[in-house]
Structure 1
Amino acid sequence: MSGSRITRRTAVLGMSAALARKAWAAPLVPTPEQTAGPFYPSVFPDDRDADLVVVKGRTARAQGTVLYLSGRVTDTNGAPAVDALVEIWQADNFGHYLAPKDGGPGPRDPNFQGYGQVKTDATGAYRFRTIRPVPYASRPPHVHFQITHPRLRPLITQMYVTGEQGQEDPAAFGGQRVREALSVALQPATEAGALAARFDIVLVAR
């Protein structure tokens, strides 16, 4: 009987401690905002799926190193943002965005989709296949993100590559701490020659 009481008491204490930890758990830090920049598509491509490396109707693959880009979208409590719309857009391997927004001179890659979108799954996860972002002008390699969800505030931000600062002043984009918070390390992917990156996103409730 004494052992049974001790066991029950231990279980109750354990549950209380777990609840206390949950109650006092610090909320997740929201992902910093960034400017959308001038190159969000004004005309969406016919092919706008999560694979930016292959354009529907073309046989050739985009130039550049393949990057498998994934992550989770959650709220500040860590709950998954199910069915959030995740959009990305970025420059091709020559540093050009989609026309007509980017009308600059120079070569373009017609086999790079330039823009893609996907909805998160039941765990808040998203996945894209794109190319490793490249620098252009003074800007470091980056990928633009826009995330929307019915119960969470929309977010526009940018993902950077760890260790690649470019020539711009980070103060123009929120400062060095913000830049570091938005930077990810690129790792070898299972596909030979490809890279992988994880970019988790935390949204704030409306």
Structure 2
Amino acid sequence: MKKALFISIVLFTLAACGGESAVKTPAPPPPVKEAQAEKPAHLNMGFGTFRLRANSGFKALDLPYKISAGEWPLAEEGATEKNAIIELDKNLVLALTIDAKSDKITVISPRFTVTKNGAYNLQLGNGALVLLASADGEEMAVIQELNNMMVDAMQEYTDSKDGHVVEKMLDIRGVKYGITIRDKMPVILSASSSKS
């Protein structure tokens, strides 16, 4: 259905890194600033809602990913945030940060490692976009804009020839979306509240 929407990613992911990265596990999200800990800006959805939206998006695009109910984020006693690292595929990992008080998600950060397999890269990129677009609601209306942001970033990275860092940001309906591409690292995407 929407697969044609993402076909342009294949061209750029093939050239972006050319091989598998040695880095497989993402670093945990950065700690919450003290001022944010008191009244965090969040994405106005809990883990359960996010999981349902993401799984629905995966199914709509016929992607092989699923977030199980058992992946519930955990927090240490007295912590201001809960964190989850969810491996959806050996090359697609999701990092979530959730405010412990409100139980609302503050950061969604999928990361995928580009390989030499173009079709597989397309699948990974689509999976990451579904995770990001889940911040927008059940309709995931931002998915085309996020796809364009990813394609632009990959094109800029491919054209650079010197492997510099490429970062792109979009602010749509109160959500700040971003992508970072650097040499020999996973492609890192993020969604957080514009208030953060």
Tell me the TM-score normalized by structure 2: 0.29
Q: Which has the higher helix share?
A: 2
Larger Rg: 1
